[in-house]
Chain A
C-alpha cells in the first residue's frame, strides 16, 4: 500500500531531523517498538509489539536510517517478522523549512504479509494509516520534550 503525506512542525529543521533520525526518539515514535539496539551506525535491531486492541503480534526485525543527507532527507526502513506474518514499511522522508515551519513529507510503501494479509484485508489499509498518524504524533511529542 502507498504511504504518503505531509506533516508540519513549528520547530527548526535541525531539531526535527534530530528527532526523526536519532534512535532514542525513533524508539518512542515507532508504534509498538520496545527497543532499538544498534547493530551498526544507522541500523538497529528492533522488537515491535504491534497490534490494535486484542490483535497483537510480536515482530522481530530491524529499523534503518538509510542514505542520510542531513538535515534534508533519508530513507526510513522498519521491518519485522513474527507468527502473524511480516510487516515492512519503507519511506523516503524529506524535510524543508518554510514560513518558520519544518515541512516533513514522506513517500513510500507499506507491506504486510502472511496470515494478517490473508485474513485482515478489510482493515489493514486503515490501520496502517492510523499507525503512521501515531508515529508523527509521537514525533511531535518528542519535539516538545527537547
Chain B
C-alpha cells in the first residue's frame, strides 16, 4: 500500500508551523512520530493533501518540573518518558503505563502529543491524561488555551483540536505524597492494543482511609473513562476486599464496551471488573507494604 501524493513541509520553528496551519490547516495533518498516521496514510484510509513534519521542533521536546506540575513538550518521545527518572519518581504510574505502548522501536518514534491527538480509546497515554487530570496546551497563531483532559477527548479518534491548532505542551499535577497507584493492562499479546486497561490512583492517609480516588479505564468507551460512581464509593472508606469487589462491580456496570474481533462486550465488561479488582488489590497490597 502506497500513500496518495501529498505536499510535504518540514518547518524549523513553531511559528512556521502556525503559518502553515493557518494557510493549509484544513487539508493538513501534523507528522510527529508517525506511528499512527503513517499506517493510515499507507492504507489510504487517511489522505491528507499536506503533511507538516514537526520533527525538527526541538523546542517542543522536554520534561521538566514546574510549580507542582510535570510539564512535557508535545514532541517528547515515549521512550524519553519511559527513561525519565523525574517521571519515575514523581508520577510512577505514567512511567509504568508507557512500557505497555507497543514495542521499543515504536516508542522511540511515537510522541506524547501525537498519541493524544490521535485519541485512540485504547492508547495508554490517553488513559493517563484522564487518570492524572492532565491539561493540554493547544496553540495557534492567534491563541493559546489550556484544555482539561476530560474536555479534550470527544469520541473515537476525535479531539477538540481545530485544523489551525497545534498541541505544544501537556502538564500533570504531581500526585500527593500519599498517592498509591496501580496500572493494569490486559491484551492478547505483549504490545497489543489493550482489551481493557485500568488506572487506579488513590490517596490513602495513614489510617488507611481513602481521601482521593481516580479510577479510569481504557478500551471500554469511545474515550478513556473516569468512573465517578466507583470513585465515590471509596472516598472516606477503608480499602478492603469487600469494598474492592463492590467498586469493581460498579466499574463494570459503568463501562459500555463495544465488541470487536477479539472480545465480546460481555467479556470486555468482565475483564474490566477483573482488572479493576486486580488494580485495587495491588493498591491495597502496596499500602500494606509501606505501612
Contact = CB atoms under 8 A, between A and B. Distances in A.
B260 A52 contact: no
A54 B40 contact: yes
A126 interface: yes
A39 interface: no
A6 B156 CA distance: 22
A12 interface: no
Contacts of A125: 258-260
Nearest to A121: B261
B45 A126 contact: no
Interface in B114-140: 118-122
A52 B45 contact: no
Given A54-B29, A54-B37, A129-B258, A123 B44 contact: no
Secondary structure of the B contact surface, majority rule: loop
Interface stretch (A21-29, A65-73, A92-100, A112-120): A112-120
A140 interface: no
Contact of B258 (A53, A57, A115, A126): A126
B48 interface: yes
A53 B222 CA distance: 13
Nearest to B4: A83
Nearest to A119: B43
A55 B261 contact: no
B261 A130 contact: no
Contacts of B46: 54-56
Contacts of A55: 40, 45-46, 157
Contact of B156 (A56, A83, A121, A127): A127
Interface residues of B, number: 24
A122 interface: yes
Contacts of B37: 54
Given A53-B119, A125-B258, A125-B260, A115 B43 contact: yes
A113 to B, nearest CB: 14
Given A122-B122, A126-B222, A130-B155, A57 B260 contact: no
A54 B149 CA distance: 21
B47 interface: yes
Interface in A24-61: 52-57
A94 B252 CA distance: 32
Interface in A115-146: 115-116, 119-127, 129-130
A110 interface: no
Contacts of A108: none
A54 B44 contact: no
Contacts of A52: 155-158
B259 A53 contact: no
B193 interface: yes
Contacts of B121: 126
12 contacts: A52-B158, A53-B118, A54-B48, A55-B46, A56-B46, A84-B45, A119-B43, A120-B45, A122-B193, A124-B260, A125-B258, A126-B222
Interface of A: 52-57, 83-84, 115-116, 119-127, 129-130
